[in-house]
Amino acid sequence: MEGKKNIEEIYSKSLRAGRRTYFFDVRSTKAGDYYMTITESKRDFTEDGTPFYKKHKIYLYKEDFVQFQENLKNVSDFIIKEKGEEIISESKNINKKADLDNQESKTDFTEVNFEDLGKE
């Protein structure tokens, strides 16, 4: 096929993480230098249930590797320091909120005797 770019993949690693897969690919430029692409692929479904994949890709060039690695490490360290390594799932938070709401609703009411309302 003429006109189509032929980008050679040199090296590739993937990481499965639940419904997501991350691809780390080394590719070659026209000049023969290398760069990296990081792709997030997430399986999703259309309204009729047909599966499809959403993909997001970033391109990372050698001149940015050191700063990228430093920033990734800094942000990762911050998150672990602030929140630990335990996974806090959204469903846990929703269930805790529902439990708190239920506790509050049990204690935040006034008992009313409707027979007394008509008497003066």
Establish if 63 belongs to a structural domain: yes
Establish if 115 belongs to a structural domain: no
Q: How many domains does the chain have?
A: 1
How far is 100 from 78, CA to CA, in rounded Å? 29
* The pLDDT of residue 19: 87
Range of the domain at 91: 9-108
What is the mean pLDDT of each successive set of 10 residues along the chain, which is 120 residues long?
57 94 95 95 92 95 97 97 89 59 52 52
Establish if 65 belongs to a structural domain: yes
Establish if 56 belongs to a structural domain: yes
Establish if 49 belongs to a structural domain: yes
Establish if 4 belongs to a structural domain: no
* The pLDDT of residue 100: 58
How far is 20 from 81, CA to CA, in rounded Å? 25
Burial 22-58 (b: 16+ CB within 10 A, else e): ebebebeeeeeeebbbeebbeeeeeeeeeeeeeeeee
CATH number, position 91: 3.10.450.700
